Structure 1
Amino acid sequence: MSVNPWIITAVILVIAIAVLAFLYYKGSKMQKQQAEQKSKLVDAAQQATILVIDKKRMPLIDSGLPQAVLDQTPKRARRAKVPVVKAKIGPKVMSLIADEDVYDLIPVKAEVKAMISGIYITSINNFRKAPVPEPEKKGFVAKIRKKADKAQENIDAAKVKQEKAKKDRKKK
Structure 2
Amino acid sequence: MSPVTIVLLVILAVLIIGLIVLYFLGKKAQKKKAEQDEQLAAAAQTVSMLIIDKKRMRITESGLPQVVIDQTPKMMRRTKLPIVKAKVGPKVMSLIADESVFDYIPVKKEVKATVSGIYITKVTGVRGPLEKPEGKKSWRTKLKEKANRANKELEKEKAELEKEKSKKKKK
Common fold: TM-score over 0.5: yes
What do the CA deviations read for 1:110-157 (whole angstroms, capped 9, x no partner)? 11111000000000132339xxxxxxxxxxxxxxxxxxxxxxxxxxxx
The runs of 5 or more residues in structure 1 that have no matched partner are 130-172
What do the CA deviations read for 1:37-56 (whole angstroms, capped 9, x no partner)? 11211121001111111111
1:49 alignment partner, SS class: strand
Indicate the residue corresponding to 2:21 in structure 1.
22
After TM superposition, what 4+ stretches of structure 1 lie above 6 angstroms from structure 2?
none
C-alpha contact 1:110 1:128 (8 A) present in aligned 2? no
Shift of 1:5: 3.0
What do the CA deviations read for 1:15-37 (whole angstroms, capped 9, x no partner)? 22111111111012111211211
User: Quick one: which amino acid aligns to residue 45 of structure 2?
Assistant: Q
Aligned partners of 2:41 and 2:12: how far apart in 1?
43
User: Quick one: which amino acid aligns to residue 35 of structure 1?
Assistant: A
2:64 alignment partner, SS class: coil
Shift of 1:82: 0.9
User: Quick one: which amino acid aligns to residue 39 of structure 2?
Assistant: K
Aligned partners of 1:19 and 1:28: how far apart in 2?
14
Indicate the residue corresponding to 1:40 in structure 2.
39
Identity %: 57
Shift of 1:9: 2.2
Aligned partners of 1:100 and 1:16: how far apart in 2?
32
2:24 alignment partner, SS class: helix
Aligned partners of 1:127 and 1:103: how far apart in 2?
17
TM-score (norm 1): 0.69
Q: 1:127 to 1:103 in 2, by over 3 A?
A: farther
Aligned partners of 2:127 and 2:94: how far apart in 1?
20
User: Quick one: which amino acid aligns to residue 13 of structure 2?
Assistant: V
Aligned partners of 1:7 and 1:32: how far apart in 2?
38
The runs of 5 or more residues in structure 2 that have no matched partner are 129-171
Shift of 1:94: 0.5
Shift of 1:103: 1.0
User: Quick one: which amino acid aligns to residue 93 of structure 1?
Assistant: V
CA RMSD, 1 decimal: 1.7
Q: 1:53 to 1:4 in 2, by over 3 A?
A: closer
Q: 1:83 to 1:95 in 2, by over 3 A?
A: same
1:65 alignment partner, SS class: coil
Shift of 1:81: 0.9
User: How do 1:10-159 residues align onto structure 2 when only pairs under 5 Å count?
Assistant: 10-128=9-127
Aligned partners of 1:59 and 1:128: how far apart in 2?
32
